[in-house]
Amino acid sequence: MTMGLPANPLGRSVDPSLRRPTRVRLTRSRLLLGLLGGLVVLAVVRVITGAQDLTSAGTLGATVNLALPIALAGLGGLWSERSGVVNIGLEGMMILGTWFGAQFAFISGSPWMGIVGGLVGGLIGGVVHAIATIVFGVDQIVSGVAINILGLGVGRYLSGVFFTGQAGGGPTQSPQVPTFHSLKLPGADSLFGGVEARHWLVVSDVAGLARAVLTSLNVFTILAIALVPVTWFVLWRTAFGLRLRACGENPTAAESLGVNVYRMRWIAALISGMFAGLAGAFLVNFTGIYREGQTGGRGYIGLAAMIFGNWRPGGLFAGATLFGYTDALQLRQGSTSVHALLLVLVVALAFAAVMAIRRRRPAAIVVPAGLAVLVAVLYATTSTLPSELVTYTPQIITLLVLALASQRLRMPAADGLPWRRGQRT
Amino acid sequence: MTRMTRAAFNVGAALLGLLVAALIAAAILLARGSNPIFALSQMVDYGSQRPSIVAIINSATTYYLAAIAVAIGFRMNLFNIGVDGQYRLAAMLAAAFGGSVALPNGVRQIATVAVAMLVGALWAGVAAVLKAARGVSEVISTIMLNFVATGIVAYLLTANRLGYQAPGSNNIGTKPIPPSGQIVGLDLIPGAGRRVYGLIVLAVLVGLAYQLVISRTRFGFNLRATGRSETAAAASGVNVKRMIIITMLISGAIAGLVGMPNLLGESHQYSLNFPSGLGFTGIAIALLGRNHPVGIAFGALLWAFLDQSALILDIYSIPKEIVQILQAAVVLSVVVTYELVRRFALMRQQQRVGRQLSGAPDGPSSPQEVPA
């Protein structure tokens, strides 16, 4: 630095967490406190607004089913990006997963084969992505975009060939396929349903949560939830995971220590595809049918959940839950429920502003405080929201969350950079 | 390597990629028991009829604008995947403007196009500000904005807002633009029964302006420099954040133009019949054309030809979706062959440099490896 350049010409390459050592650590007790606080806020808002669907078992049960495909897609993104391969083709791989999941389940008559089908479909997408990006070193986003086009085309073509002529099937949808039964705890429905119907503050909300958990899970949902800690364990607690992450941070250094970067990235891309395919199979199992456009951008939202979660499984799962919850809410009396959600948003923004005051960062106070006032005015001057816009609540929340959260994020250092053996930098 | 040999390499790579993709599609058709040669000959037959040619030119015009909008971002490593949302929002609001604001002939058309550019730029500007101020990846934000745009269009396109329902029709659209606000088509292909969009001229102008700005202005130089290396550009005095915002705004403004040829030349109103997913088509074509205006023109024509000629396949009970697979395969294989050609050229360059450094025409090739 003899030229006297400023040490930080872009003004953004310094990791914010280094600058602010006072950053609040997320401990287990803080997490529990946060979750509890969230539930109480929702309960209070529910009582104030009368939007009972905010914490009803129906909404929360739907949340599970809508959040998990996003979480699975996000995990797919996590696996490949941790190894240094950006995977924007998740959406296309998910489409392949829905088609093959439906076809396998339909032919065999077993939902288990639907899972296998989803894995196979996603794997195909993963192989294409790996060949393009790892063997040929093509730009990873470009390959992903092509895979999205490919997934759409393959889904349409195969439906035209295989589903047309089947009972209820056609070029845009499959026949009904077998699905997993939900595992209901006997008596839970009536017991907790009764408490829920009383609309008591907090008590009924907890009952709604309990009823959702005890009545709307099935084998696939439990499997999908389990994959979150499994991913964390493999990537952060095994030697294999450490090597894989090393390839995403500094492939040249990893190679110098004897890690086969190509092989690691291949494995990661294939697993990534399988996760995306699983997300597709999950959707098919949820709706009992393959339908064109069924994925509805969930692959992209999964990617956003991963970014929101700072390339970590726990944060990713939290993001997916948030998006799944808002998606479930817009489906259940969306105009009223999402309107009530505005009040929750005001509380959250005010909280963010208060936290910024405590940390003495004046610049970070103005934006959330201003937004809080804006949203409060919007809430006060309207009674419902237009249903056409409410449909896209998850997407709007995604944008908001990314806008407010994204400066603290740190992606894997070599993420998205094509790498070739023998390369020095 | 001279410009000519580089161009020849690129054309060769494109043709090779096309061939590979065609072979893949042929294999898929064969697996189903269809004759790929027959399918291709029917497609060429149908695609070269006069009405088809007009349809191809018209959709190629639309695709061309979408691809240029994407390409300008690509030149500085900015992925505007939101062309789709920008174009639909812009087309809808411009159509509502053109249909309801009475202005003299000539001014009205220009104003409508200006509104479209403005709306497209503003919608892209949201993603630009999010990226420059908050570091949000434009890939994610523009995709989300596409969805939100769909919602806004659906919200505004209802009867008591900007929607208009012709008596006896249940297709809702914006208020039709009267003849004084339209742009007449060109009768380029006589006997086709359909005219070529008048705004094809605008598309050509946009292509020229794009090339001029990219290769002959300081802004274009800064843009390419930022695309190659953000840090190097910043060190040489380029304001990267400003570049992100300006480029995104320009890209959005061009995206706003995408719907104009159809709106002013044929449909005269925005309805839900306007195609969606044009953003991804634009990305694919920009990749095929290597971000070069001439290459993009060929890419757009190829894409439009495949779209149009596929329509005949249904008659022979061949699923026309095979063409979509073909298109995706073309993108993937062409991108791969471009990369292979790039590596090959790099290798040749290294060998030449090695020979020159060692002083002998047939000396050992350089052991030095240049980072890819």
A35-94 pLDDT per residue, tens = 888 888 888 888 888 777 887 878 888 898 999 999 999 999 999 999 999 999 999 999
Q: What is B266-312 written as a DSSP string?
A: II-S-BTTS-S-HHHHHHHHHHHTTT-HHHHHHHHHHHHHHHHHGGG
Mean pLDDT of B113-130: 96
Looking at the complex, report in whole angstroms how far the Cα of residue A404 sits from the nearest Cα belonging to chain B: 8
Chain B residues closer than 8 Å to A418 by CB? 372
pLDDT at B361: 54
Residue B282 has pLDDT above 60, yes or no: yes
Residue B279 has pLDDT above 90, yes or no: no
pLDDT at A214: 77
pLDDT at B372: 46
pLDDT tens per residue, range B345-357 = 888 888 989 998 8
* Contact between residue A304 and residue A398 where contact means Cβ atoms under 8 Å apart: yes
Query: Do the Cβ atoms of B325 and A12 come within 8 Å?
Result: no
pLDDT at A22: 46
- What is the C-alpha end-to-end distance of chain A, expressed in Å? 19
Task: Tell me how many residue pairs between chain A and chain B have CB atoms under 8 A apart.
Answer: 143
Tell me how far apart the 2 most distant CA atoms of chain A are, in Å: 75
Torsion A239-A245-A246-A247 (CA) sign: positive
Looking at the complex, report in whole angstroms how far the Cα of residue A280 sits from the nearest Cα belonging to chain B: 19
* Contact between residue B109 and residue B181 where contact means Cβ atoms under 8 Å apart: yes
Mean pLDDT of B61-85: 94
Query: Do the Cβ atoms of B372 and A420 come within 8 Å?
Result: yes
Question: pTM score, two decimals?
Answer: 0.88
pLDDT tens per residue, range B135-186 = 888 888 998 999 999 999 999 998 888 888 877 777 788 989 999 889 888 8
Q: How far apart are CA B71 and CA B80, in angstroms?
A: 9
Q: What is A240-266 written as a DSSP string?
A: HHHHHHHHHH-HHHHHHTT--HHHHHH
Which B residues in the span 218-247 are in contact with A, Cβ-Cβ below 8 Å?
Answer: 230-231, 234-235, 240
Residue B263 has pLDDT above 90, yes or no: yes
Element containing residue A318 per DSSP (H, E) = helix A313-331
From the list B147, B324, B331, which residue is nearest A395 (CB)? B147
Q: According to DSSP H, which parts of chain B are helical?
A: 3-32, 36-47, 50-74, 83-100, 107-134, 138-156, 200-216, 218-228, 230-235, 240-257, 260-262, 278-288, 293-309, 322-358
The model's confidence at residue B211, banded by pLDDT at 50, 70 and 90, is very high
Chain A residues closer than 8 Å to B372 by CB? 137, 418, 420, 423
B155 at A interface, C-beta within 8 A:
yes
Residue B47 has pLDDT above 60, yes or no: yes
Angle formed at CA A241 by CA A300 and CA A141, multiple of 5 degrees: 30
Mean pLDDT of B299-321: 91
* Contact between residue B78 and residue B240 where contact means Cβ atoms under 8 Å apart: no
Q: What percent of chain B has pLDDT above 90? A: 60
Q: How far apart are CA A119 and CA A124, in angstroms?
A: 9
pLDDT at B217: 95
Q: Please report, in tens digits, the pLDDT of each residue of chain A (425 residues total).
A: 333 334 444 434 444 444 444 455 667 787 788 888 888 888 888 888 877 788 787 888 889 899 999 999 999 999 999 999 999 999 999 999 999 999 999 999 999 999 999 999 999 999 999 999 999 988 898 899 889 989 999 999 999 889 988 888 888 899 999 999 887 777 777 777 777 777 777 777 877 777 777 777 888 999 999 999 999 999 999 999 999 999 999 999 999 999 999 999 999 999 999 999 999 999 999 999 999 989 988 998 899 889 888 899 998 999 899 889 988 888 887 788 888 888 888 888 888 788 777 777 776 778 778 888 888 888 888 888 888 888 898 888 888 888 877 566 788 998 888 888 877 65
**Residue corresponding to tokens 């979750």:** A35
